[in-house]
């Protein structure tokens, strides 16, 4: 909450907050803004009729560091602690299409996620995990199709068919150009890979969510809540248009689209943000794209609490921030949730911090009573007015992007990038000048704060990972690898679905980096202006 003036308040998006709200504040609620019922169009009140009375959100704690073995140990620790879904982070070399033994990977192997270079690594990552029972989310974008196929190959080795595998790949490359930077290829061939993944999963992995259209990183880059909604849905529109352009039927792929949002500090704005996003997307899918199935109109989403709000100063305060952010996500109707660990501003989370983060969700879900009724804040004069204001302001951005020719053209013109940079600057300035209070940072500062335990980086395990990749490249059938990679290159020069030859190459033990290098050669690399 920003302090605008002596008696003024505004949300993080600059929406003025009145001292008190009355029923007349809802008078501009037209029929198209009707709340409806939970589980019914326009899904303002939630995508399912019973919501958490039927089943709590999936508690999906994000994990990934070091080698595949280390992350596998963390996965099994979290499952034993009561986690209900897996969520995997990958290191920067894996995200950027480099094997662990590549010169550009030096110093980054296993640092911010797990290192996966081959089918051998994926086997170790998923050892003793029943892939037919768990749902797995993988935060990966430029190399999403590669990681998906490695996952499918391990599933097949476990005897689990593709149609039994359930989970999500992020696979949202447009937000990488907007906000994050882990892209490889230019936007248009990257879009081809995404559409090929849609088509492949429709036939081979029909229960897999083929994309998680991500506002999370847009918000982490400094956007407002309104911009997060607008730019995320604009990217979603671009993916739908690309799939339609490739000849896919909207009702065949739309039910497997999912979204990923941030949970920031402003409790009521965040709750209203999720409600506005659901209503906007339902309208877009039904009216703009003429989807016929109600399931195609649903905006289903995962939420992660806001990493950018965590502070290294007085890090225990982050427990409070994360709890309130998680509460906003739950009150806003999320389908799954990751709660950040309180020590993440200092380094990778320790097991102690990870357990507390999971316990935060469990306390909210099982002890607070918020899951006892569907959409407990419906009808709040403040929440409903704020939902409408966010929807209207997001629509202004969507109209502007449409006028530019869509999200890809807007990105190429750096429009969303500039808007986010301006918002991030304003937010940082409000902290610096004291208009926005951050406890322990610019107000309520304690001298002599003691930092908690920091997770150690195991350099020996990183060296073992590099050695394993080098050994694989010697031990495998390199003639079979060369043949399969040549077939992939030929497919890239044509119009065939790339995932089929890619799967053959990966099964022959071609590495992630080698697959990416073939596509670099054919597609080129993206360099921003």
Above 50 in pLDDT, residue 30? Answer: no
519 vs 509: CA distance, rounded Å: 17
Q: Where do the domains of the chain lie, and which CATH numbers do they carry?
A: 2-63+170-432 (3.20.20.240)
Alpha carbon of residue 471 to chain centroid: 34
Torsion of CA 105, 60, 307, 234, to 10 degrees: 90
pLDDT value of position 447: 72
- Give residue 424's pLDDT: 94
For tokens 């309520």, what's the residue?
Answer: 444
Q: How far is CA 368 from the centre of its chain?
A: 27
312: buried, middle or exposed (CB in 10 Å: 19+, 13-18, 0-12)? middle
Assigned token pair, 459? 């350099």
Residue 253 has phi, psi (to 5 degrees) of -110, -25
Cα separation, 50 vs 374, in Å, equals 6
Give the strand pairing for 166-169 and 208-209.
Answer: parallel
- The whole-number pLDDT of residue 455 equals 61
**Secondary element (H or E) of residue 338:** strand 336-338
- Exposure of 331 in the CB half-sphere (CA atoms within 13 A): 23
Q: Cα-Cα-Cα-Cα dihedral of 34, 39, 45, 51, to 10°?
A: 170
Residue with tokens 């001292």: 19
CA distances from 272 to 263, 352, 520 (A): 11, 33, 42
Q: How far apart are CA 418 and CA 61, in angstroms?
A: 32
Question: Are 316 and 342 spatial neighbours (Cβ–Cβ below 8 Å)?
Answer: yes
What's the rounded Cα separation, in Å, for the pair 326 and 348? 20
The 3-state DSSP composition of the chain as helix, strand, coil percent (nearest 5) reads 50, 10, 40
Residue 450 has pLDDT above 80, yes or no: no
The pLDDT of residue 65: 81
Give me the pLDDT at residue 318, please: 97
pTM for the whole structure: 0.90
Between these two residues, 449 and 268, which has the higher pLDDT value? 268
Average pLDDT over residues 355-371: 96
Dihedral (CA of 327, 33, 8, 225) sign: positive
pLDDT higher than 90, residue 24: no
Of the chain, the percentage scoring pLDDT greater than 70 comes to 95
Give 76-114 as a DSSP string.
HHHHHTT--SEEEEB-HHHHHT--TTSGGGTTTTTSSSB
When pLDDT is averaged across residues 403-423 and rounded to a whole number, the result is 95
Pairing of strands 8-10, 2-5: antiparallel
For 198-224, what is the mean pLDDT? 95
């Amino acid at each position: 909450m920003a302090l605008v003036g002596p008696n003024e308040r505004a949300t993080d998006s600059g929406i003025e907050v009145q001292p008190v709200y009355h029923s007349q504040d809802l008078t501009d609620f037209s029929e198209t803004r009707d709340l409806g019922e939970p589980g019914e169009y326009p899904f303002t009140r939630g995508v399912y009729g019973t919501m958490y009375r039927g089943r709590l959100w999936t508690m999906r704690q994000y994990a990934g560091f070091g080698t595949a073995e280390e992350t596998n140990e963390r996965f099994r620790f979290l499952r034993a602690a009561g986690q209900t879904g897996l969520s995997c982070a990958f290191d920067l070399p894996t995200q950027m299409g480099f094997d662990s033994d590549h010169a550009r990977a030096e110093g980054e192997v296993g640092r911010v996620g797990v290192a996966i270079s081959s089918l051998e690594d994926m086997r170790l990552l998923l050892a003793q995990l029943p892939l037919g029972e768990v749902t797995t989310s993988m935060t990966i974008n430029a190399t999403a199709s590669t990681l998906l196929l490695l996952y499918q190959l391990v599933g097949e080795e476990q005897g689990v068919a593709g149609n039994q595998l359930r989970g999500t790949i992020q696979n949202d490359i447009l937000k990488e150009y907007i906000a994050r930077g882990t892209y490889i290829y230019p936007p248009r061939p990257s879009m081809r890979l995404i559409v090929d993944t849609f088509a492949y999963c429709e036939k081979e992995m029909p229960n897999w969510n083929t994309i998680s259209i991500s506002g999370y990183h847009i918000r982490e880059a400094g956007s407002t809540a309104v911009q997060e909604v607008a730019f995320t849905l604009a990217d979603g529109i671009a993916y739908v248009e690309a799939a339609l352009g490739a000849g896919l039927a909207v009702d065949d792929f739309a039910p497997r689209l999912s979204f990923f949002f941030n949970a920031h500090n402003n409790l009521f704005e965040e709750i209203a943000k999720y409600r506005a996003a659901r209503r906007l997307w339902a309208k877009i899918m039904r009216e703009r794209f003429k989807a016929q199935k109600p399931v195609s109109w649903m905006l289903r989403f995962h939420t992660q609490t806001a990493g950018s709000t965590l502070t290294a100063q007085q890090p225990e305060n982050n427990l409070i921030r994360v709890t309130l952010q998680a509460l906003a996500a739950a009150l806003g109707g999320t389908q799954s949730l990751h709660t950040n660990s309180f020590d993440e501003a200092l380094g990778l989370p320790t097991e102690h911090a990870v357990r507390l983060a999971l316990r935060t969700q469990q306390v909210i879900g099982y002890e607070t009573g918020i899951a006892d009724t569907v959409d407990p804040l419906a009808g709040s004069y403040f929440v409903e007015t704020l939902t409408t204001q966010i929807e209207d302001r997001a629509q202004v951005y969507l109209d502007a992007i449409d006028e530019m020719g869509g999200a890809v053209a807007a990105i190429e013109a750096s429009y969303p990038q500039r808007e986010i940079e301006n918002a991030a600057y304003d937010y940082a300035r409000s902290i610096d000048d004291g208009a926005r209070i951050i406890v322990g940072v610019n107000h309520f500062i304690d001298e002599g704060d003691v930092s908690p335990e920091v997770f150690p980086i195991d350099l020996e395990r990183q060296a073992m990972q590099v050695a394993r990749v080098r050994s694989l490249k010697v031990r495998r059938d390199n003639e079979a690898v060369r043949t399969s990679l040549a077939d992939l290159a030929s497919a890239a020069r044509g119009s065939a679905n790339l995932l089929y030859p890619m799967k053959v190459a990966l099964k022959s033990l071609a590495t992630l980096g080698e697959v990416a290098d073939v596509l670099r050669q054919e597609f080129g690399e993206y360099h921003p202006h």
